[in-house]
Amino acid sequence: MKSKIVKRLFAIGLAAVMTAGMLAGCGGKGGSGEGGSKGEAKDANFTWWIFTTDGQGMYYDSYDDSPSVQYINSQYWDVEKGGIGTEENGRKLNFSFLVPIAGSEMDNFNTMIGTGEYPEILDLSASSETPQAMHDNGVLMDITEYVENYMPNYLAFLDANPELKPLVQVKEDDGSVHYYAIYAFSDGVETPWEGTCYRRDWVVKYAEPTEYVWDWESDYVKENGHPAVTPLDKAVEEKNLEGWKKNEVTSFTADYGENPNEDYTDNVIFPSGTSDPITVSDWEWMFEAFEKAIDERGWSDNSGAYCTTITYGGYFAQGDLVSSFGGGTGYYYVNDGEVSFDGDSDTFKTYVECMNNWYEKGWLDSQFSTRAADVFFMINTPGVNQGMVGMWCGLSSTLGDSLRVTCQNEEDQKDAFAMGCALPINDMYGSEEQMYVEPDALYQGSRKGSGIGITNKAEEKDLEALFTFLDWTYTREGGEVLYLGLNEDQVASVDLNPNIFADNNLTGAYVKTTDEEGGEVYKKAVDESNQLVSALTGLRMNVGIKLTRKGSGYTIDNGNAMVNERAYEQWEKYLNTGNIMEYSALLNVEESETFSKTQSAILEYQNINLPSVIKGSMTWEDYVNGFEAIDPESVVPMLQKYVDLAKAE
């Protein structure tokens, strides 16, 4: 097996440089390990290769000098009871770090593996092999014994989140479970950096308040979550307004305040009876307003101006808007633990019918299929920035009044204002099966990080103390230290050198208070946009529980503007449970080759033909028939095998 490693040997000169760096890195700070309460003293010096650093050269010269790392290196680890101990009952660890030159990470990692000159701990972000393969090749340890004996918090987290187990465990045919890596996990949904944005100012100016809106205080809506009949036109036509009420708002106005991104208010109420859009019919109501704005500005014949758009292939395989029509992705999909191919389903057909209707009405970007070079969150960036688009998937930086400086229209230059909204719930297309279903497949960051591996270089070192420390990072305290930084008491308890807290007139990285509901609130001492905010932490160690903007029993105040916070609430409204992407990464080599061939054939076929169905030049039936030669169902059992692991006791 080691012959596989030999084949990857790189230039001897580069290897020599790496070796010299390793020797320098192992010098580090501190000294030899301490036996503490468990046997003879073992070497407790561990060198850790990390993918990148924070503020290196600006706030400190080496990642060893990160305040969180200095704090960790000063602690004693109680291998018997777990967590931080005392000098009498604990053992010290000393971590030093290797950081590759920016841009050379992959080459640097491969050189280490190829030459065998790697440290005890590896960030696996740059690895092209699975941890199991690296173990089989003699690089990583099988750490199952240490995880099971010294990491109760890690195992408890996996038990509480069983859907993550097959992503971090290797289950053998005999039922035994092995661990070859330790993974960082997010406590909740990561703060979104993109999402659906729309021109709120166009809604205020051009949308007409509907005569009736949903009555959320009515018994029917309380019980069912929606009126008896939707949308409003259909309810009026059928003379059934149960769950609707008279709209008291007859015109819309807005107050931008001195700082619009913080102060903006308006009285907009959508047909669904709330201040944010909920349904597909809410979106279509907005499209009518956007169409008026575009017409008034003389852009009706400009292909860069439109109400909304979709990716060039006709859909986004992660799901997003597709899943608004009964769930699904238009690709492979998992629902209640069952894997299916969704590209020919009734729910996907409903999505396509809606897109065809939007295209026919002129609401959908007529040139969507030609924008193959545009990534999904930057489609027609010039049109968006010039203020010619009503709704788009974009970065959080496009929210608020940021578009004003680039808008073409003089009026828009004064009051353009973008807000974020959630994916809609379908209330008007398809059958009952496709209606009133929350989106379940959308683009959200994985809760699982890339992980770290413990190499064979650590076999004779103090692994008990190491895994005790690693387990501590899966407690709230450990998560705070790694991902928020040190609090005032922790800063005072350590002789930091360098002390970037003192250098920047800070007493701690955050202050923790309690809100009216009894939840904890973390207020960061440094604004999120400041590079210092990351330099105060130990997040590059890539382990532990990462505290997110809103987690279990707490919130983090990152100092974001009101318009951003409101957008994040909308973008986090629904959870991604339907994507198969992470499970596909578990396929073995043979399965992966089969899956890749089928996947390529599916995506190529869809990219060519689905836009034609949306534009009305190809029938749905002809489109579905084209899958027969591809046979997407053939790989479903492969994916199902790994999804089943998540359900296994």
Pair 59, 101 in one domain: yes
The answer to whether residue 252 sits within a structural domain is no
User: Is residue 468 domain-shared with residue 367, that is, in the same domain?
Assistant: no
233 within a domain of the structure (yes/no): no
CATH number (domain holding residue 347): 3.40.190.10
- Six-digit token string for 430: 């398809």
Beta strand residue intervals within 10-53, DSSP E: 45-49
The DSSP line for 304-333 is T-BSB---TTSS-TT-GGGGGGTS--SSEE
Query: Model confidence over 33-46: pLDDT tens digits?
Result: 444 444 567 999 99
Query: Are residues 137 and 177 part of one domain?
Result: yes
Joined tokens for residue 8: 């990857």
What single-letter amino acid sits at 494? Answer: V
144 and 21 inside one domain? yes
589 within domain boundaries: yes
| Dist. CA 381–CA 491, nearest whole Å | 45
Amino acid at 606: Q
Q: Answer yes or no: is 554 within a domain.
A: no
Q: State which residues form the domain around 426.
A: 193-206+278-443+561-649
Pair (88, 35) in one structural domain: yes
Residue 529 lies in a domain: no
- Kindly state whether residues 418 and 321 are assigned to the same domain: yes
Which pTM value belongs to this model? 0.82
**317 lies in the same domain as 390:** yes
- Whether 236 is covered by a domain: the verdict is no
- The structure tokens 């008034």 sit at 296
Same domain? 468 vs 390 = no
Tell me, what's the pLDDT at 171?
78
Which domain CATH number covers 123?
3.40.190
Q: Are 79 and 36 in contact (CB under 8 A)?
A: yes
Q: In this structure, are 178 and 110 located in the same domain?
A: yes
3-class DSSP state of 50: coil
Residues 6 or more apart whose CB falls under 8 angstroms from that of 492 comprise none
List, as one string, the DSSP characters of 331-353.
SEEEETTEEEE-TTSHHHHHHHH
293 in the same domain as 171: no
The answer to whether 26 and 125 are in contact (CB under 8 A) is: no
Tell me the residue length of the chain: 649
Tell me if 526 is assigned to some domain: no
Residue numbers of the chain with a pLDDT score lower than 50: 1-38, 649
Number of domains, the chain: 2
Q: Ramachandran region of residue 387, left (φ > 0), alpha (ψ -120 to 50) or beta?
A: left
Within-domain flag for 198: yes
Are 469 and 581 contained in the same domain?
no
| Predicted pLDDT at 55 | 62
Q: Do 608 and 465 fall into the same domain?
A: no
Torsion of the alpha carbons at 432, 241, 237 and 424, rounded to the nearest 10:
-40
